[in-house]
Amino acid sequence: MTYAPPTNDYLFLLRDVLAIDQYAALPGFADAGLETVTQILDEGGKFAAEVLAPLNGVGDKHGCQWHADNSVTTPPGFKDAYREMTDGGWPLMNADPDWGGQGLPSVVSLCFSEMCSSANMAFAMYPGLTHGAYAALRVGGSQALKDVYLAKMAAFQWAGTMNLTEPQCGTDLGLIRTKAVPQADGTYKISGQKIWISGGEQDLTENIVHLVLARIEGGPAGVKGISLFVVPKFIPDGQGNPGVRNAVLCLGLEEKMGIHGNATCVMGYEEATGWLVGEEHQGLKVMFVMMNEARLGVGLQGIAVAEAAYQAARAFAGERLQMRAISGPKHPALPADPIIVHPDVRRLLLDQRAIIEGGRAFLLWTALHGDLAHVHPDAAAREKGEDYMALLTPVLKGFLTDRGFKACSDAVQVHGGSGFTEHFPVSQYLRDSRITLIYEGTNGIQALDLVGRKLAAKGGRAIMGFLAELDAFAAENQADAALKPFVDALAGAKAQLQEGTLWLMQNGVANPDAAGAASHDYMHLFGLTGLAYVWALMAKAAHSNLAAGRDADFARGKLAVGRYFVERVLPDTAAHLAKMKAGAAAMMAAEAL
């Protein structure tokens, strides 16, 4: 099974749906013309398909090895692939030009990230986390820290990690025990144990830069007393090269369900030297920069792995011969018809496609707003970009990974018993994608973040802006007969999302359990409504392409999947709204559990 990068889909989204060329006058976008973007997609796709994809099964089978000297070896081939990635300059694509990057918008670089995660999620996590750590240091680090670390991290010469989790603390960071003791020279001695640290040790880079949450001795209890530190594996010398070994060691690796090619490490800090990032006790604020970036990246993993699983399932369904079509044989010359003729197999495949293509569009649409939040000259556009990024990050993380995992499960189902064996790749995709619902804040926590913090932020400005944007699109396109099914579906979903939002406002404050009980369904109602919007945007662009005689086959395929989404996926909104409105009583009944 080979992975085929969906470059046509990215081009359609960037060129026809999001029309990123309209921003060509803005920093970064100026260098993201159609020619450059096409080249990035082609070359990036080649790297993902030819270098990373062949290593996906290798990583799964070999895993990472821990050695008694506390070193870790990544699976065969990972080191060379990593070198090829850095030599090719891929890491620099959307890094800041001040630190040697090209400064391209995220909406472009995320296409490359998705291809890498589809091809080999475990590998792609190493650069993915480095990018998040780089972003946190860029925002929160002192000039001195930036000077030492950022250029090396932008080039992925030095990797980054995030160290939050401890044995007694996962979701509840207020329980962190790792301690930091101030030293006379302005540094801190960091001591404690962190668990499940992705890429905590590896053999891919010359240095590893750990971003560590710890409590400064005597600091306030709970999350208010947490600070963020840079703790490098090798302390940089005066010339910015890796110097003395720091007192941080990988004490072991976790055996786990999937992503075997990514080292999940137990990390021991024994008075390791650390440098404060940002202000004392304000560590979570800066760490959130990394966490938000990582959350978007995890939403992306959700659809990326689903894309690879879909491709495998689609190929299998075209080849596996079982039974005749219920409407009569479709391939009489064969002993049986390929299973793709059966309605239920088509349901499984189209459920996947509708979510993957809609999810990709929603993610890139949001990422574009994130880019505009940084570079748009108009303050209102920057504010809207920030609002949307904050509001939609938990939706993209939680909804896309829930549905991405289901898509991987559907891909296994298409394979029948073969899908449960290790002879086919879908078993690995299903195992790999399961973690996306858990790390970077479980999906339950994303849903709580959405209803508890993001909706109410700034007087509800972001959700009101989002709902108004959907209304405006529906009003503008009401008269377009070709778009009517999409516009009507969007208007219906939007009305339900609005009703669900009002219900939360009326019931959630008086009864927090009602908000908690509704949060999962609200997140899904939100995600589906977001997809209804981007499917309408895609339908509009596909119709224009058809009218212009451009990419007609692609446009017809897009419209067919869009129609399936509207008729057979979107109606789930009603069930989610009904479940929300049932309230918390049955869930919280003492006798029930």
Ligand X SMILES: Cc1cc2nc3c(=O)[nH]c(=O)nc-3n(C[C@H](O)[C@H](O)[C@H](O)COP(=O)(O)OP(=O)(O)OC[C@H]3O[C@@H](n4cnc5c(N)ncnc54)[C@H](O)[C@@H]3O)c2cc1C
**Residues labelled as active-site residues:** 440
Strand partners, 198: 264
Within 189-208, which residues bind ligand X (CB under 6 A)? 196-198
In the chain, the largest separation of any two C-alpha atoms, in whole Å, equals 84
To ligand X, the closest distance from the beta carbon of 400 in angstroms equals 17
Within 519-558, which residues bind ligand X (CB under 6 A)? none
Contact residue for ligand X among 37, 48, 133, 162 (CB under 6 A)? 162
To ligand X, the closest distance from the beta carbon of 175 in angstroms equals 10
Q: What DSSP designation does 242 have?
A: E
Is residue 179 helix, strand or coil?
strand
Q: Which is nearer to ligand X, 105 or 132 (CB)?
A: 132
C-alpha to C-alpha distance for 174 and 576, rounded to whole angstroms: 32
Contact residue for ligand X among 188, 310, 424, 439 (CB under 6 A)? 439
Cα 497 to Cα 15, 110, 413, 531, distances in angstroms: 29, 28, 31, 12
352 sits near ligand X (criterion: CB under 6 A): no
452 sits near ligand X (criterion: CB under 6 A): no
C-alpha to C-alpha distance for 199 and 302, rounded to whole angstroms: 20
Over the window 163 to 182, marking each residue x when it contacts ligand X by CB under 6 A and - when it does not, the resulting string is xxx----xx-----------
Nearest residue to 13 via CA among 389, 367, 520: 367
To ligand X, the closest distance from the beta carbon of 195 in angstroms equals 7
Identify the H or E element spanning 234: strand 234-236
Over the window 309 to 348, marking each residue x when it contacts ligand X by CB under 6 A and - when it does not, the resulting string is ----------------------------------------
Instruction: Spell out the alpha helix ranges (H) of 336-478.
Output: 343-375, 379-415, 417-420, 426-434, 443-449, 457-477
Choose the stretch contacting ligand X; rule: CB under 6 A; options: 90-98, 162-170, 219-227, 412-420. Answer: 162-170
Q: Which is nearer to ligand X, 176 or 411 (CB)?
A: 176
Task: Note whether 429 and 3 are within 8 A (CB).
Answer: no
> Which residues touch 420 (CB under 8 Å, ≥6 apart)?
412, 427
Is residue 338 helix, strand or coil?
strand
Q: Rounded to 10 degrees, what is the CA torsion of 54, 55, 59, 64?
A: 170
Choose the stretch contacting ligand X; rule: CB under 6 A; options: 160-168, 238-246, 357-365, 393-401. Answer: 160-168
To ligand X, the closest distance from the beta carbon of 205 in angstroms equals 16
To ligand X, the closest distance from the beta carbon of 157 in angstroms equals 20
To ligand X, the closest distance from the beta carbon of 583 in angstroms equals 17
444 sits near ligand X (criterion: CB under 6 A): yes
Q: Rounded to 10 degrees, what is the CA torsion of 153, 158, 162, 168?
A: -170
414 sits near ligand X (criterion: CB under 6 A): no
- Long-range contacts of 61-68, Cβ-Cβ distance < 8 Å, separation of 24 or more: 61/260, 62/260, 62/261, 63/260, 63/261, 64/202, 64/253, 64/260, 64/261, 64/262, 64/263, 65/253, 66/201, 66/250, 66/252, 66/253
Within 474-503, which residues bind ligand X (CB under 6 A)? none
Choose the stretch contacting ligand X; rule: CB under 6 A; options: 240-248, 347-355, 394-402, 431-439. Answer: 431-439
Q: Which is nearer to ligand X, 254 or 469 (CB)?
A: 254
Tokens standing for residue 70: 């506390």
Identify the H or E element spanning 305: helix 283-319
What are phi and psi for residue 335, nearest 5 degrees? Answer: -65, -25
To ligand X, the closest distance from the beta carbon of 368 in angstroms equals 27
Task: Note whether 201 and 234 are within 8 A (CB).
Answer: no
To ligand X, the closest distance from the beta carbon of 133 in angstroms equals 10
Contact residue for ligand X among 247, 438, 467, 546 (CB under 6 A)? 438
Number of amino acids touching ligand X (CB under 6 A): 19
Q: What DSSP designation does 169 have?
A: B
Over the window 104 to 143, marking each residue x when it contacts ligand X by CB under 6 A and - when it does not, the resulting string is ----------------------------------------
Q: Which is nearer to ligand X, 105 or 441 (CB)?
A: 441
57 sits near ligand X (criterion: CB under 6 A): no
Identify the H or E element spanning 182: strand 179-182
Q: Which is nearer to ligand X, 122 or 341 (CB)?
A: 122
445 sits near ligand X (criterion: CB under 6 A): yes
388 sits near ligand X (criterion: CB under 6 A): no
What are phi and psi for residue 203, nearest 5 degrees? Answer: -115, 25
Strand partners, 273: 189
587 sits near ligand X (criterion: CB under 6 A): no
Choose the stretch contacting ligand X; rule: CB under 6 A; options: 223-231, 357-365, 437-445, 483-491. Answer: 437-445
To ligand X, the closest distance from the beta carbon of 238 in angstroms equals 30
264 sits near ligand X (criterion: CB under 6 A): yes
C-alpha to C-alpha distance for 291 and 165, rounded to whole angstroms: 13
Q: Rounded to 10 degrees, what is the CA torsion of 322, 328, 333, 338?
A: -30
15 sits near ligand X (criterion: CB under 6 A): no
C-alpha to C-alpha distance for 302 and 300, rounded to whole angstroms: 5
435 sits near ligand X (criterion: CB under 6 A): yes
Binding region for ligand X (CB under 6 A)? 162-165, 170-171, 196-198, 256, 264, 435, 438-439, 441-442, 444-445, 448
